[in-house]
Amino acid sequence: MSYGPGVQRIYAIALTSVREAIRDRVLFAVLGLGALSVFFGLGLGALSLAEATRILVDHGLVTLSLLSNLVAIFLGVNFLYKELELRTLHVLLARPVARHEVLLGKFLGIWLTVAVFVFTTATLLFALLLLTATDESAAAAERAHALLGVPLEFRYSLRARALALGGVTLVALLPLAIARVRRALSVGAVLPVSALGCGAMFLLARVVVPGEAHYLAAGMALVLAEVTVTASFSMLFSAFSTPFVTGMFSVGTFVLARSTWLMQHIRMNRFPEALKALLKGVAWVLPNLHLFVPSRPSLIPDDPHHPALGYVLQCSLYGASYAALLLLAAALVFRRRDLT
């Protein structure tokens, strides 16, 4: 299938942006932080009584959400600024490349970078979910036995298994410390491999512990949908301001957008009417990112009132629509920006 030259240029800019993130070690730094946080969640679960699986998944989704949005904001702040600072944007625009194509390419590069992080970290989460569930639940252990054909009677404790898995993870990440290996990596290789690994671990987990596996998968999809919005308003701010201002605006907007539900439902009997109207106006204008971090009952697959797939699709459509409006505004602003 052949695409138009505009789509090809956008995709080429996106690939270059991902390679830049890999070269600057942004992706590997956040992967390391994500792995450490996931193992910390495993330790928290080990201290609980029959709640290790739930704590592991909940803490893992919080890790995915916060780190993904922080990476999206950080890359949105720096991608365009580096192009302007190094004067490479002038060379790029001297070719038959429009400004909105540069903007869309950078946005797509951010999303692909975050997707690699989400898929890779979720693969580790699914693996730990399998270990924790079979250790905590006899029914899960029986399902794993029926699936694999061998009894999952581990000789070592959960802590020892986690340390062994952590060692394997560390060994897998060590080659990424070599600059030549990082330069050889590309999104064309990293993204499919991480997605396939995540999909394979999900298929195993959904047989052994279906409820938590579906909940984790739905949470992953909501994280990617939320990053679509976060990256878009980060690109909007970077289209007209400096990196410091873009970072402040992006973080502030993210915090406010996560608080829109609170603005709409908080009791404000003692607040003046002007403040109430202001908060309601802010909540109406900003995207409602609270939708992307729902409670557990909203994502339970067996609940007929809150089907997980329908909820995820609605939120994804909402995020895509809002991101399209923000990117359109960013393209109009960036088109009028003086680059001299």
Residue 329 inside a domain? The answer is: yes
Question: Does any domain span residue 263?
Answer: no
Least confident span in 157-171, 246-260, 302-316 = 157-171
Q: How confident is the model at residue 155 (pLDDT cuts 50, 70, 90)?
A: very low
**CA geometry: angle 196, 199, 205, nearest 5 deg:** 145
Residue 280 lies in a domain: no
Contacts of 306 (CB under 8 A, 6+ apart): 297, 298, 299, 300
DSSP 210-276: HHHHHHHHHHHHHHHHHHHHHHHHHHHHHTTS-HHHHHHHHHHHHHHHHTHHHHHHS--TTS-HHHH
264 in a structural domain: no
pTM of the predicted protein model: 0.85
What mean pLDDT is predicted for residues 56-71?
92
Structural domains in the chain (count): 1
What does the pLDDT read at residue 188?
59
Angle at CA 331, nearest 5°, toward 285 and 15? Answer: 115
CA 241 to chain centre: 25
Using pLDDT thresholds of 50, 70 and 90, give the confidence band for residue 224. very high
**31-58 residue pLDDT tens:** 888 888 888 887 777 777 667 888 889 9
Residue 51 to residue 46: CA distance in whole angstroms: 8
- For residue 238, give the amino acid letter: S
Alpha-carbon span 107 to 18, nearest angstrom: 10
Structural domain boundaries, residue 89: 5-258+294-336
Question: pLDDT tens digit string along 81-132?
Answer: 777 777 777 777 778 888 888 899 999 999 999 998 999 999 989 988 887 8
| Residue 286 counted as domain residue | no
Instruction: Say if 14 falls within a structural domain.
Output: yes
Q: Is 276 contained in some domain?
A: no
- Would the pLDDT of 256 be above 50? yes
DSSP tag of 47: T
In a domain, 213, yes or no: yes
Cα distance between residue 216 and residue 233, in whole Å: 26
